[in-house]
Structure formats: structure tokens, C-alpha cells
Amino acid sequence: MMHPLDDLPTPSLLLDIDRLEANGERMRQRACQAGVRLRPHLKTLKSVDAARRVVDAGGAITVSTLTEAAHFAGHGFRDIVCAVCLPADKAARAAQVHRSIDGPGLATLVDSLPVAQAMADRLRTLDAVLPLWIEVDCGEHRTGVDPDGDELLALGRFLAGCPQTELRGVLTHGGQSYRCRDAEAVRAVAAQERDAVVHAAQRLRAAGIDCPGVSAGSTPTAVHGTDWTGVTELRPGVYMAGDLFQIQMRSLAREDLAVSVLASVISVKPGRAVIDAGGLALSKDRSLMGLPDDPGFGALSDLDGRPLGLQVAGVHQEHGEVPLPPGAPALQPGQRVRVWPVHVCMTAAAHGHYHVLRDGRPVGTWPRVNGWD
Amino acid sequence: MMHPLDDLPTPSLLLDIDRLEANGERMRQRACQAGVRLRPHLKTLKSVDAARRVVDAGGAITVSTLTEAAHFAGHGFRDIVCAVCLPADKAARAAQVHRSIDGPGLATLVDSLPVAQAMADRLRTLDAVLPLWIEVDCGEHRTGVDPDGDELLALGRFLAGCPQTELRGVLTHGGQSYRCRDAEAVRAVAAQERDAVVHAAQRLRAAGIDCPGVSAGSTPTAVHGTDWTGVTELRPGVYMAGDLFQIQMRSLAREDLAVSVLASVISVKPGRAVIDAGGLALSKDRSLMGLPDDPGFGALSDLDGRPLGLQVAGVHQEHGEVPLPPGAPALQPGQRVRVWPVHVCMTAAAHGHYHVLRDGRPVGTWPRVNGWD
């Protein structure tokens, strides 16, 4: 008997719209209850069609590249934060996107006074303006200024006084939540995010610097955080799709996962099978390496999502190796399976579009905006 | 002073044409001396422009997807092997590409009699023909039939007698060479490749089955193998670009590497810098994890390729973390660097095109054919 997924190519990327909408609604309610605005991060799904289902009309979004920023701006999104510190030579491109938008426009991040000064110099020659958020380090130690340091105030004074820039607020990302192993630990990181960014905002305000925005949040902290007092907006992103890593973080449940890779079994030998989704189609993300129930490069289910108890233990470029231990379900060459990704941001990026499903049936394709230009 | 690479976007993928040509010429001479045809694998560079510089006119190529096969066929390549076992339901697409070519056409792999039979059934309804190679397992235990087993002969008889198929030969891939740690061990794998595939060809011929092609080779075995008696062609691919893994295998030298990622420093704090090439721009390949001189996710050089003694130790989606130990060269925000990839096949796949360099200067872009359709 034919299955609705039998006509799609393999490997290909599937997105379940029903689950996307449910995940979006659940996060929307969480933000509403917490009294903060939701500024969903589109770096995972990179899709205008997906964004329209999780973002309120005219609503605020977050992106991770200027390519995404220009794409979303071109599709009617009017309030965009590119949540990465840019080198000064990207200020012109960012300002161009900002200028193209009738609304709050595009803002980016800065975490250093010399970079802010270099950006202002370039913007001045173009007679352009770029809104900026000051990135604050809440303990991840990736980028961002010390919320207790002098650079925060120096940056705030410069941005507030510079005609080429517009200070939108302070922003942080508690990426250290990804090192947590239970909800209690994530809750502690959420408190670190809030404390650091609210403290930074208060220091700016105490110095007479206007700081309207106070932005925080990752999917784990947005799910597990309980008190966002003083924070104005949250920026989770992975929650729209979910992945095995987020299940381990208790951010979503197995039945919430909205993105999978459709694959075909291409070879079966005693004790092992090979599928046509390898390192390129799945990515080589091993974020769950060494943890209990490590799913390798992805967990297999049948076409209706029922787990097969099998995993992709090894990958080559176009081959995924699936060990078949004694008692494992038999796989046949040509059989189709779904692979549930470890880290959906990485897996989805290998694909140019989604085959979207409604009630388990393909109803079209949605393009992704990959890469950089 | 401006550098020729200062005007390119970051992150972006660089390809040095001079090195590509030198790598191509060196492998061509190796194959010539060994008396075997070269059928370069384009799965790494996925570029028609690159192929034209390393493949002889009208020459034979290898690809890893039907998307690549159709793309190269559409650009005048007439002798293509897609070196992956396909599920039977891809036979129609493969046959369509084969039919579009005036020449030897497109052949793919098969390693199972039931799949061959299912392919033949589908091809019969289309009145189509598909050339096939029998994949032989020379010890990697990924895909392929046992060169000593019954399935080899059963497959050979079926393919030779079936009007819908055309047996092109036997083919193997000594992927176990990637687990070797020195040239001597790789040489032993090259001998395994040769022995297995030549033995398989001899068994088919002894059974009265025509077996014109005997195909072997990966970059490490093609470089280090010394005796290819009985083999008709070699299929290395990574050698065109090279990467840190291939240096560790002694397949290429540091100064042969042709592909790097151009990146900008976006943040500098005491003891650490962050660049705008993260997990997406570099991939999360960690093939050198735990080995001496483990370069993390890539090694940094200046814009002219001089090593900086720094590496990308951690990646987030758009951030690469570069520890700055005491005595390390100072990095400045906005400064540009090149990152030399661990596994170039994975890194290049994140990018839609190359910025190609001649004598270190950008001279244009070459598109890549990524993904599956």
C-alpha cells in the first residue's frame, strides 16, 4: 500500500505544519503569561512561510545573518534584530536593509566601543543610520560586554550620542543553558540571563542613557525560566522545530518534533543497513555524544513517526550507517524511514527547502534562505 | 593597506585555482604512471568549472548524487558514475539522465539482487536502460557485496542477461583508509581495494560474464597505493582541494590546500576571539578529534595563508570561538582571517559558490551544485 510520503524524493527535509503551529502557540502563550514580547529566532527554520505561522502580524523577529535579514525584510517583516555582532564593514549593508524597511527596521549587535566607532565612521560617510543593541555576556563567555564593566557605559554613551546609531537596548543569550542536564539547571541560567541584562539596563538608565529594550532568551531558558521581571522580550527559535537535543533538555516532547529527514534504505547486509541520508543530509552534529541514549547522528522512525529503536551510528557524505542489533526490526532495501535530527539548526541548513506536511500528507514546499552573500 | 581579499563578503568560501590545477596535474600524472584511467570524484568540489580543470576533455567523472549527475550531464560531461547504491525508485530518474547523454552516459551502483530486479522491473515499464556497476566490499563494510560470495555471481548473471541493465564492471571504495594513521597502513588498504575488486572481476569473467571495468580508489589510496595491476580506473576526489585531515594522512602538504573559509573577527575579549564562521560555515566535522595537533573545527591563517597558530575550538551556528593563549598573535575586531577546514567536503557544502583566486586575487565566482532534488 502506498504511503503519502512515498512520492517525495530522498533525502529530503520534512516539516509538519500542525506541530509547527502547536509549538508556536505554546511559546506564544508562555511569553504572554510572562508578560514579555516574543521575538522568535528564525535562524533554525529560515523560512518566511514558517515565520508567518509563529510570528504575530507585523511582529518582531530575530535572524542570524544579513542574508536572512534582507530576505525577511523583503517579505514584509518590519522589526528585525540580527542577533550577531557584526564587523564594522557590514554596517553599510545592514543600514541599507534598515533603510528599506518602513517600521522599526533592522538592528544588529555590538559589544565593543572601537567597533561601534568604526561603524559610526562608515555610516557617516553614507549618511546612514543603524539601530544597535549592546550585547551583554551573562555567563556564556562567547560575545558581549561584562554587565558590571566600564565598556557597557562607554558604549551606551557613545551610541546614545552618535547621530549614526540608535541605541535600542541591551540583549543577552544564555547559551550556557546548552551545557545543562536538567530543567533546574536551565532555570538557573534563565535567572542569570535576566539578572545580567536587567542589571545592565539599570546601569545605563542610572547613567541617564535611554535603554528601552531588554532582550533575553534561548529555547531552553524561555521554556524553563519562570521570572522575567524587567525583561521586555524573549528570542527562542529552536522550539518551532525541536530536535533530540531539546528533548534531552526537556524543552519539547518527542511528539512535538516538527522536522525530520526522509530517507531510503539503500543497502542491507547482516547486522547493518545503510540509508541515503549521510553527513550532508543530517549534519555531523554530535551534541548528544556520550550522554545516555546518545542517538548518534539521528533516530529512525517509520513514516508515521513511530520510533524504530534504530539510529544512525555513522555517516559518510551520502551514506548513513544503521546498525541492526539482534531483534531489531528488519529493514528492506528501498524502504523509507524518517530520521529525527540531533540538532535541527544544523540538519535543516543542508537543505534548500522543506516538504511541508499537513495531517501527515505533503501539501507543498517552503524555501529556506541559506548561506551568506 | 588594502588586501585583495578585503572586498569579499564573510564568511565565504575561497578556492585557489593555481593549487587546484597543480593538485589535478599531480594526480593525473600518478594515474598515468600507474597505467589507470582517472575518474575524479566531484562530490567535494561539486563544480563544473573545477571539473573542467582536472578532468580530461570528454573525460570520465564520478559524482555522489543524481542532482550532480544531471548538472554535469547538462554541462557536457558524457561519462559519469554516480558512486552510490540507489533505491529502485531512483532508477527512472537515473535512466532519464543516462538517456540525455550522447556517450557512455550515467551509470550507478547496485549491491543486491532484489534491488537489481526491482530496478529492472521499473525500467521495463519505461522501456529504459541503466548501466550499473556492482559494488564490492573490500573491507570497509559499508555497502557492497562480498567479493567471495554468491551474490556477486548472481548479480553479474542477472545484470548481464537483463535487457534493461548493462553491466559496466565492479567497483570498490577503501573507505577504511580513513581510519589509517600512516602511509604504510594506507598502502595496505590500497592493496585490499585492488585485491578485492580484481578478484571479483576475475570471478565474474571465469563465470563467462563480461566485466570491462575494475574501479577503485580514494584520495589516500590513490596517493599511497603503488600497484594497481588489474584495476582500470581510480576515483579520488578530495585531492583537488585537500584539508587538514588529508594532511594528517600525508595525501597532500599544507601548501597544496586549495579551499579555505574567509572570516572576520567579530569580537575580542581577554583570552578569546570570535569569528563570523561557525558551525554552518565550517561544518561540525571533528574527524581529527583526539589526534595529535587536533585543529578543532579549523586552523587559522592570515590572508596570505601564513598559519597563525590559532584554531576554532568551538562553534555555534554563526560564531567560531578562537582561544587566544598567552603569546598568541593579537586579533582585532574587523580583522580578516582564513580558516583551513578539517574536512573540506563537509565545509564546502555549506556554501553556494566559491570565490576563486588566481595568484591570491579574486577573479570571479564558481557555483556549486548542492543538495538533492
Give the pLDDT confidence score for residue A44 in this predicted structure.
98
Q: Find the residue in B nearest to A7 (Cα).
A: B89
Give the pLDDT confidence score for residue A293 in this predicted structure.
83
pLDDT in tens, A193-250: 999 999 999 999 999 999 999 999 999 999 999 999 999 999 999 999 999 999 998 9
Give the pLDDT confidence score for residue A1 in this predicted structure.
75
Average pLDDT over residues B20-40: 96
Contact status, residue B133 vs residue B90, Cβ threshold 8 Å: no
Contact status, residue B15 vs residue B340, Cβ threshold 8 Å: no
Contact status, residue B109 vs residue B83, Cβ threshold 8 Å: yes
Give the pLDDT confidence score for residue B130 in this predicted structure.
98
What span, in angstroms and rounded, lies between the C-alpha atoms of B34 and B62?
19
Give the pLDDT confidence score for residue A182 in this predicted structure.
84
pLDDT in tens, B224-235: 999 999 999 999
All three cell numbers of A65: 545573518
Contact status, residue A261 vs residue A14, Cβ threshold 8 Å: yes
Taking residue A166's Cβ as centre, other Cβ atoms within 10 Å add up to: 17
Classified as helix, coil or strand, A165 is strand
Average pLDDT over residues B48-70: 93
Contact status, residue B263 vs residue B362, Cβ threshold 8 Å: no
Q: Find the residue in B nearest to A178 (Cα).
A: B316
pLDDT in tens, B149-205: 999 999 999 999 999 999 999 999 999 988 888 889 999 999 999 999 999 999 999
What span, in angstroms and rounded, lies between the C-alpha atoms of A259 and A347?
9
Mean pLDDT, all residues of chain B: 96
A321: left (phi over 0), alpha (psi -120 to 50) or beta: beta
Q: How many CA atoms lie within 13 A of A317 on its CB side?
A: 26
> Are B318 and A65 inside 8 Å of each other by CB?
yes
Residue B263 distance to chain A (closest CA, Å): 10
Q: How many CA atoms lie within 13 A of B175 on its CB side?
A: 18
Residue B253 distance to chain A (closest CA, Å): 23
pLDDT in tens, B269-294: 999 999 999 999 999 999 999 888 89
Contact status, residue B342 vs residue B288, Cβ threshold 8 Å: yes
Which residue is listed with cell 519562570? Answer: A226
Average pLDDT over residues A132-153: 97
What span, in angstroms and rounded, lies between the C-alpha atoms of B65 and B55?
18
Which residue is listed with cell 501527515? Answer: A360
Contacts of A100 (CB under 8 A, 6+ apart): A70, A73, A74
Dihedral sign, Cα of residue B44, residue B49, residue B54, residue B55 = positive
What span, in angstroms and rounded, lies between the C-alpha atoms of A11 and B67?
12
B89, B143, B318 ranked by CB distance to A84: nearest: B318
Q: Is B294 exposed, middle or buried (0-12, 13-18, 19+ CB in 10 A)?
A: middle
- The interaxial angle of helices B91-100 and B66-74, nearest 10 deg, is 10
- The interaxial angle of helices A91-100 and A66-74, nearest 10 deg, is 10
B90, B114, B285 ranked by CB distance to A284: nearest: B285
pLDDT > 70: percent of chain B? 99
Length of chain A: 373
Give the pLDDT confidence score for residue B293 in this predicted structure.
83
Radius of gyration of chain A (CA): 22
Q: Find the residue in A nearest to B111 (Cα).
A: A267
Give the pLDDT confidence score for residue B58 in this predicted structure.
61
Lowest mean pLDDT among A180-184, A229-233, A356-360: A180-184
Mean pLDDT, all residues of chain A: 96
The values of phi and psi at residue A53, to 5°, are -90, -10
Are β-strands A105-110 and A79-85 bridged in parallel, bridged antiparallel, or unpaired? parallel
Give the pLDDT confidence score for residue B70 in this predicted structure.
98
Give the pLDDT confidence score for residue A57 in this predicted structure.
67
> Are A319 and B272 inside 8 Å of each other by CB?
no
Average pLDDT over residues B145-151: 98
> Are B269 and A316 inside 8 Å of each other by CB?
no
Which residue is listed with cell 535487457? Answer: B163
A86, A334, A371 ranked by CB distance to B87: nearest: A334
B143, B144, B318 ranked by CB distance to A64: nearest: B318
Average pLDDT over residues B48-74: 94
Residue of A84, A245, A289, A337 for testing the chain B interface, max B β-carbons within 10 Å: A84
Chain A partners within 8 Å of B88 (Cβ): 333-334
Chain A partners within 8 Å of B297 (Cβ): none
Q: Is A330 exposed, middle or buried (0-12, 13-18, 19+ CB in 10 A)?
A: exposed
Chain A partners within 8 Å of B371 (Cβ): 350-352
All three cell numbers of B119: 530496478
What span, in angstroms and rounded, lies between the C-alpha atoms of B9 and B300?
17
Give the pLDDT confidence score for residue A180 in this predicted structure.
87
List, as own/partner pairs, every contact residues A310-315 make where C-beta atoms lie below 8 angstroms and the sequence separation is at least 24, other chains included: A312/A275, A312/A277, A312/A282, A312/A339, A315/A278, A315/A279, A315/A282, A315/A284
Contact status, residue A324 vs residue A331, Cβ threshold 8 Å: yes
Average pLDDT over residues A129-134: 98
Dihedral sign, Cα of residue A294, residue A296, residue A297, residue A298 = negative
* Three-state helix/strand/coil letters over B201-225: HHHHHHCCCCCCEEEECCHHHHHHC
Give the pLDDT confidence score for residue A58 in this predicted structure.
61
Contacts of A265 (CB under 8 A, 6+ apart): A273, A274, A275, A331, A332, A333, A334, A335, A336, A337, B87
What span, in angstroms and rounded, lies between the C-alpha atoms of B275 and B315?
10
Residue B281 distance to chain A (closest CA, Å): 8
Any idea what the Cα angle at residue A264 is, between residues A302 and A355, rounded to 5°?
Answer: 75
All three cell numbers of A174: 544564555
Residue of A7, A121, A316, A344 for testing the chain B interface, max B β-carbons within 10 Å: A316
Distances (CA, A) of B19 to B55, B160, B246, B255, B306: 15, 42, 15, 8, 16
Taking residue A315's Cβ as centre, other Cβ atoms within 10 Å add up to: 23
Q: How many CA atoms lie within 13 A of A303 on its CB side?
A: 21
Contacts of A289 (CB under 8 A, 6+ apart): none
Average pLDDT over residues B82-101: 97
Residue A110 distance to chain B (closest CA, Å): 9
Query: How confident is residue B59, by pLDDT bands cut at 50, 70 and 90?
Result: confident
Q: Find the residue in B nearest to A371 (Cα).
A: B351
> Are A89 and B142 inside 8 Å of each other by CB?
no
Any idea what the Cα angle at residue A131 is, between residues A128 and A134, rounded to 5°?
Answer: 135
pLDDT in tens, A59-97: 899 999 999 999 999 999 999 999 999 999 999 999 999
Give the pLDDT confidence score for residue A20 in this predicted structure.
98
Burial string for A145-158 (b: 16+ CB within 10 Å, else e) reads bebeeeebbebbbb
A12, A144, A345 ranked by CB distance to B317: nearest: A345
The values of phi and psi at residue A18, to 5°, are -60, -45
Chain B partners within 8 Å of A115 (Cβ): 333-334
> Max CA-CA distance within chain A?
72
Query: How confident is residue B333, by pLDDT bands cut at 50, 70 and 90?
Result: very high
Contact status, residue A177 vs residue A141, Cβ threshold 8 Å: no
Dihedral sign, Cα of residue B69, residue B74, residue B76, residue B78 = positive
What span, in angstroms and rounded, lies between the C-alpha atoms of A219 and A43?
12
Q: A332 pLDDT exceeds 80?
A: yes
All three cell numbers of B194: 585492488
Q: What ipTM is given for this predicted complex? A: 0.97
> Are A372 and B333 inside 8 Å of each other by CB?
no
All three cell numbers of B196: 578485492
Residue A116 distance to chain B (closest CA, Å): 11
Quote the pTM value: 0.97
Contact status, residue B54 vs residue B248, Cβ threshold 8 Å: no
* Three-state helix/strand/coil letters over chain B: CCCHHHHCCCCEEEEEHHHHHHHHHHHHHHHHHHCCEECCECCCCCCHHHHHHHCCCCCEEEECCHHHHHHHHHCCCCEEEEEEECCHHHHHHHHHHHHHCCCCEEEEEECCHHHHHHHHHHHHHHCCCEEEEEEECCCCCCCCECCCCHHHHHHHHHHHHCCCEEEEEEEECCHHHHHCCCHHHHHHHHHHHHHHHHHHHHHHHHCCCCCCEEEECCHHHHHHCCCCCCCCEECCCHHHCCCHHHHHCCCCCHHHCCEEEEEEEEEEECCEEEECCCHHHHCCCCCCCCCCCCCECCEEECCCCCEEEEEECEECCCCEEEECCCCCCCCCCCCEEEEECCCHHHHHCCCCEEEEEECCEEEEEEECCCCCC
> Are B319 and A88 inside 8 Å of each other by CB?
no
